[in-house]
């Protein structure tokens, strides 16, 4: 017996707001919260200003994005879809008593799995377990007619798939990771396999292994199997291609049309040269209002940093807010020339840095429901160097985080900031200074600097992500305080940067540990980067008391005493990390990460978790998408596309499970 889930519980106020300027106050941003997560909804400012053709373009790009959903689930772990299909069957089964003891725990588990696109925590990598008993879960499966004898073992046995991407420092991280990128091979075998393919002297190398699974076949031979039409994930990729072709027909310009044709060709052939050609076209499109990400993009989930997770993103340019990053881009060379790194590691000409502020229209794959607030693509270093890259900061997502925080009675700022003065500084300038830091990180930070000739782009191995994020963050931190920023009209006040500095140190040394389970190390790349920078500056500035640890009523605080010296420390560390990357000094990079980024002081960690718990906040946020719906006239012609703002997280998940089920 199936129960039709009430999908898209619309608040009528929200639906009406869709096409007019939103008023603060009568739109609830937080729509669900459970475990360590909260789910919000975002609005799309500027949607009404699009032409019908632009809306149609965005609509098909959004459909293409959503059709890739199952790919990511399967990439994260090969049994994820099995688990999800069982959860969907139970959630839609009429016979299940939703008042029974245990059901609430089951529901929380289901919501967490949906949030993570699989059975592992989206951030911490560890397997998630249901709080309800195995017997109860079995009874639910029975009621829903799910016949899968192995499933309970997969869900409940801690020895099966303990982590998505293994964070073990000893052992074979390929074997220990649950991600579905490798089968029957060891780390050593994979590394040898690629060493045999990759030509280090190729100035324009394709991203080897980006879109394939590596398998040792029954004959003992290691082979790559591509994710493409006619290969792995074909049913999903075919659907994506259909929507991309529909989008191409209504694209804004010829560059977009060429880019989409190349993307479809890449999906049909799996040819990584086509992927590069697509990216080169895609980078050129800086004039369109509607833009997208669609493909196997980021390699964070692969323990060896080669295989990319599927991701989709559709966005529209925020013209007004983009002026700020346009100014940064126009001055890119000045920033490169004046950065505190060794001239040998600077780019003689920085080109093609296109930076804009966007508003998200659709999040998908690896960007849904948890999503970044800034993106810089493409990832291939030589394309970035030869053709430039696109950097975006995502305004409506950032603003939604702020609005949602304002809906709460307490804040981490009030708890972890030492003084009223610090809180006032943060309230006055924190938000704008943080956005400017993100702009600098994305627009200029990642694009700055160069490798010395002959240094491999993969020289930093497993430390590459954290070091690269640290480099971009430091570039941003250094310039956030530069008088040039005020001169350019970007920073509103010469003192505003202090809010970002105080916030960064407080977060890096303390607040961010709210996201780590007690007793576990700090493993996520961005968090490692922040801890590395904050700890390094705390230690190196100790003699001058640049950052002071204070204890009041048993609570620890970190206070910045000398902002000028702190900026100087940022400059020193930026110079060193740029040297490490430029020279490919793996050992020095490793030492920085292992010394400053990984281990959390257990006493402080415990204190931070307790203080945070008392605030009753959720450390992670994610988003439901507005549903872009065609409006038809009486003859069935589409006259408009309207975003409809759901407030039903589970409803959207179940709807996607039906509509975009491909694998
Ligand atoms: Zn970054």
* Closest among 396, 199, 403, 185 to 307, alpha carbons compared: 185
Residue 165, domain member (yes or no): no
Helix axis angle for 431-440 and 464-480, nearest 10°, is 120
State in Å: Cα 643 to ligand 1 middle.
Answer: 30
399 and 274 housed in the same domain:
yes
Say which range, 283-287, 366-370, 652-656, has the weakest mean pLDDT: 283-287
State in Å: Cα 212 to ligand 1 middle.
Answer: 25
State in Å: Cα 253 to ligand 1 middle.
Answer: 29
Question: 3-state DSSP call for residue 183?
Answer: strand
State in Å: Cα 358 to ligand 1 middle.
Answer: 16
Residue ending a domain, among 184, 202, 226, is 226
Is residue 601 within 8 Å of residue 366, measured between CB atoms?
no
198 and 114 housed in the same domain:
no
Residue ending a domain, among 94, 126, 156, is 156
DSSP 576-602: HHHHHHHHT-HHHHHHHIIIIISPPPH
Query: How much is the pLDDT for 435?
Result: 85
State in Å: Cα 204 to ligand 1 middle.
Answer: 23
Contacts of 480 (CB under 8 A, 6+ apart): 433, 436, 437, 440, 491, 497, 500, 501
* Closest among 659, 649, 646 to 115, alpha carbons compared: 649
396 and 473 housed in the same domain:
yes
Domain count, the chain: 3
* Closest among 302, 354, 292, 291 to 328, alpha carbons compared: 354
Question: 3-state DSSP call for residue 233?
Answer: coil
Rounded mean pLDDT of the chain? 92
Residue 58, domain member (yes or no): no
506 and 404 housed in the same domain:
yes
Q: What is the pLDDT of residues 597-644, one digit of tens each?
A: 999 999 999 999 999 999 988 889 999 999 999 999 999 999 999 999
Give the Cα separation of 191 and 306 in Å (integer): 10
Query: How much is the pLDDT for 25?
Result: 56
State in Å: Cα 520 to ligand 1 middle.
Answer: 24
State in Å: Cα 367 to ligand 1 middle.
Answer: 15
State in Å: Cα 659 to ligand 1 middle.
Answer: 33
Residue ending a domain, among 210, 226, 242, is 226
State in Å: Cα 154 to ligand 1 middle.
Answer: 34
- pLDDT surpassing 50 at residue 20: no
Residue 286, domain member (yes or no): yes
Task: For the chain, state the CA radius of gyration.
Answer: 24
State in Å: Cα 90 to ligand 1 middle.
Answer: 39
Q: Which residue has the tokens 């060891």?
A: 186
State in Å: Cα 74 to ligand 1 middle.
Answer: 26
Structure tokens at 600: 């959390």
- pLDDT surpassing 90 at residue 10: no
Residue 471, domain member (yes or no): yes
Which sign, positive or negative, has the C-alpha torsion 161, 166, 172, 178? positive
pLDDT band at 6; cut points 50, 70, 90: very low
State in Å: Cα 531 to ligand 1 middle.
Answer: 15
90 and 238 housed in the same domain:
no
Mean pLDDT value of segment 15-39: 69
Strands 389-394 and 353-365, by their bridges, are parallel
Please, what is the Cα angle at 345 between 342 and 349, to 5 degrees?
Answer: 115
pLDDT band at 403; cut points 50, 70, 90: confident
Cis peptide before 369 (omega within 30 of 0): yes
State in Å: Cα 343 to ligand 1 middle.
Answer: 23
Residue 179, domain member (yes or no): yes
478 and 582 housed in the same domain:
yes
Mean pLDDT value of segment 266-293: 96
State in Å: Cα 578 to ligand 1 middle.
Answer: 15
State in Å: Cα 472 to ligand 1 middle.
Answer: 6
Query: How much is the pLDDT for 432?
Result: 87
441 and 586 housed in the same domain:
yes
Mean pLDDT value of segment 220-224: 97
State in Å: Cα 168 to ligand 1 middle.
Answer: 24
Q: What is the pLDDT of residues 306-323, one digit of tens each?
A: 999 999 999 999 987 888
Residue 643, domain member (yes or no): no
pLDDT band at 354; cut points 50, 70, 90: low
Mean pLDDT value of segment 497-524: 95
Contacts of 649 (CB under 8 A, 6+ apart): 31, 32, 39, 111, 114, 369, 624
Give the Cα separation of 613 and 641 in Å (integer): 42
* Closest among 138, 525, 495 to 302, alpha carbons compared: 525
Give the Cα separation of 296 and 301 in Å (integer): 11
State in Å: Cα 374 to ligand 1 middle.
Answer: 7
State in Å: Cα 87 to ligand 1 middle.
Answer: 34
- pLDDT surpassing 80 at residue 24: no
State in Å: Cα 581 to ligand 1 middle.
Answer: 15
State in Å: Cα 210 to ligand 1 middle.
Answer: 19
Cis peptide before 12 (omega within 30 of 0): no
State in Å: Cα 376 to ligand 1 middle.
Answer: 7
State in Å: Cα 390 to ligand 1 middle.
Answer: 12
Give the structural domain span for 574: 234-620
pLDDT band at 507; cut points 50, 70, 90: very high
257 and 145 housed in the same domain:
no
State in Å: Cα 339 to ligand 1 middle.
Answer: 18
State in Å: Cα 580 to ligand 1 middle.
Answer: 17
State in Å: Cα 78 to ligand 1 middle.
Answer: 28
State in Å: Cα 546 to ligand 1 middle.
Answer: 26
State in Å: Cα 612 to ligand 1 middle.
Answer: 26
Query: How much is the pLDDT for 555?
Result: 97
State in Å: Cα 553 to ligand 1 middle.
Answer: 37
DSSP 392-441: EEEHHHHHHHHHHHHTSS--HHHHH-SSHHHHHHIIIIIHHHHHHHHHHI
State in Å: Cα 443 to ligand 1 middle.
Answer: 10
- High-pLDDT (> 90) share of the chain, %: 83
* Closest among 150, 65, 77 to 113, alpha carbons compared: 77
State in Å: Cα 395 to ligand 1 middle.
Answer: 16
Query: How much is the pLDDT for 589?
Result: 97
pLDDT band at 411; cut points 50, 70, 90: confident
467 and 333 housed in the same domain:
yes
Q: What is the pLDDT of residues 67-125, one digit of tens each?
A: 999 999 999 999 999 999 999 999 999 999 999 999 999 999 999 999 999 999 999 99
State in Å: Cα 537 to ligand 1 middle.
Answer: 20
State in Å: Cα 281 to ligand 1 middle.
Answer: 22
Which of residues 564 and 392 earns the better pLDDT score?
A: 564
State in Å: Cα 162 to ligand 1 middle.
Answer: 28
State in Å: Cα 442 to ligand 1 middle.
Answer: 6
Query: How much is the pLDDT for 21?
Result: 36
Q: What is the pLDDT of residues 162-212, one digit of tens each?
A: 999 998 888 999 999 999 999 999 999 999 999 999 999 999 999 999 999
State in Å: Cα 499 to ligand 1 middle.
Answer: 20
Which of residues 350 and 49 earns the better pLDDT score?
A: 49
Residue 627, domain member (yes or no): no
596 and 567 housed in the same domain:
yes
214 and 333 housed in the same domain:
no
Residue 379, domain member (yes or no): yes
State in Å: Cα 533 to ligand 1 middle.
Answer: 14
219 and 259 housed in the same domain:
no
- pLDDT surpassing 50 at residue 448: yes
State in Å: Cα 202 to ligand 1 middle.
Answer: 26
pLDDT band at 382; cut points 50, 70, 90: very high
State in Å: Cα 58 to ligand 1 middle.
Answer: 26
- pLDDT surpassing 50 at residue 663: yes
Is residue 199 within 8 Å of residue 93, measured between CB atoms?
no
CATH code for position 393: 3.30.540.30
């Amino acid at each position: 017996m199936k129960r039709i889930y009430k999908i898209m519980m619309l608040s009528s106020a929200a639906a009406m707001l869709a096409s007019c300027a939103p008023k603060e106050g009568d739109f609830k941003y937080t729509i669900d919260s459970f475990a360590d997560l909260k789910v919000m909804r975002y609005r799309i400012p500027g949607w009404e200003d699009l032409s019908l053709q632009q809306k149609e373009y965005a609509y098909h790009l959004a459909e293409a994005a959503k059709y890739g959903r199952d790919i990511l689930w399967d990439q994260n772990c090969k049994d994820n879809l099995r688990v999800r299909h069982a959860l969907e069957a139970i959630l839609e089964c009429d016979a299940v008593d939703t008042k029974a003891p245990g059901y609430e725990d089951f529901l929380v588990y289901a919501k967490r799995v949906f949030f993570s696109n699989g059975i592992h925590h989206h951030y911490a990598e560890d397997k998630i377990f249901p709080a309800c008993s195995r017997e109860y879960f079995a009874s639910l499966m029975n009621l829903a007619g799910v016949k899968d004898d192995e499933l309970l073992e997969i869900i409940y046995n801690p020895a099966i798939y303990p982590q998505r991407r293994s964070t073990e420092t000893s052992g074979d991280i390929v074997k220990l990771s649950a991600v579905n990128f490798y089968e029957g091979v060891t780390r050593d075998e994979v590394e040898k396999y690629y060493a045999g393919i990759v030509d280090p002297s190729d100035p324009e190398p394709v991203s080897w292994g980006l879109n394939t699974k590596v398998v040792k076949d029954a004959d003992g031979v290691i082979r790559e199997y591509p994710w493409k039409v006619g290969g792995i994930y074909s049913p999903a990729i075919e659907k994506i291609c259909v929507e991309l072709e529909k989008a191409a027909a209504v694209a804004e310009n010829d560059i977009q049309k060429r880019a989409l044709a190349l993307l479809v060709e890449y999906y049909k052939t799996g040819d990584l040269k086509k992927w590069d050609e697509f990216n080169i076209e895609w980078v050129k499109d800086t004039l369109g209002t509607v833009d997208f990400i669609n493909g196997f993009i980021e390699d964070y989930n692969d323990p060896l940093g080669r295989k990319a997770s599927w991701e989709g993103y559709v966005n529209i340019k925020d013209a007004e807010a983009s002026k700020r990053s346009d100014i940064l881009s126009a001055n890119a060379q000045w920033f490169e020339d004046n950065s505190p790194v060794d001239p040998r590691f600077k780019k003689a000409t920085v080109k093609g840095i296109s930076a804009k502020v966007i508003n998200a229209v659709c999040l998908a794959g690896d960007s849904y429901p948890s999503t970044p607030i800034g993106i810089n693509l493409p990832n291939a270093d030589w394309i970035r160097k030869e053709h430039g890259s696109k950097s975006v900061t995502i305004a409506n997502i950032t603003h939604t985080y702020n609005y949602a925080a304002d809906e709460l009675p307490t804040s981490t700022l009030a708890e972890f900031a030492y003084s009223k003065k610090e809180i006032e500084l943060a309230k006055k300038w924190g938000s704008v200074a943080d956005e400017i830091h993100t702009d600098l990180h994305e627009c200029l930070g990642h694009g700055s600097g160069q490798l010395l000739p002959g240094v491999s782009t993969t020289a930093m191995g497993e430390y590459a992500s954290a070091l690269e994020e640290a480099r971009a963050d430091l570039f941003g931190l250094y310039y956030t305080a530069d008088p040039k920023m005020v001169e350019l009209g970007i920073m509103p006040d010469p003192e505003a940067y202090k809010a970002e500095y105080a916030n960064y140190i407080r977060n890096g040394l303390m607040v961010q540990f709210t996201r780590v389970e007690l007793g576990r190390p700090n493993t996520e790349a961005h968090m490692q980067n922040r801890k590395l920078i904050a700890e390094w500056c705390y230690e190196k500035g100790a003699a001058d008391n640049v950052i002071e640890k204070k204890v009041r009523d048993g609570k620890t605080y970190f206070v910045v005493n000398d902002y000028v010296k702190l900026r100087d420390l940022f400059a020193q560390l930026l110079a060193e990390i740029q040297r490490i990357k430029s020279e490919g000094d793996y050992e020095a990079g490793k030492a920085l990460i292992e010394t400053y980024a990984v281990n959390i002081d257990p006493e402080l960690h415990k204190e931070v978790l307790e203080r945070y718990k008392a605030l009753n906040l959720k450390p992670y946020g994610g988003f439901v998408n507005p549903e872009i719906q065609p409006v038809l006239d009486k003859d069935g012609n589409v006259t408009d596309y309207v975003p409809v703002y759901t407030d039903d997280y589970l409803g959207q998940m179940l709807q996607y499970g039906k509509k975009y089920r491909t694998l």
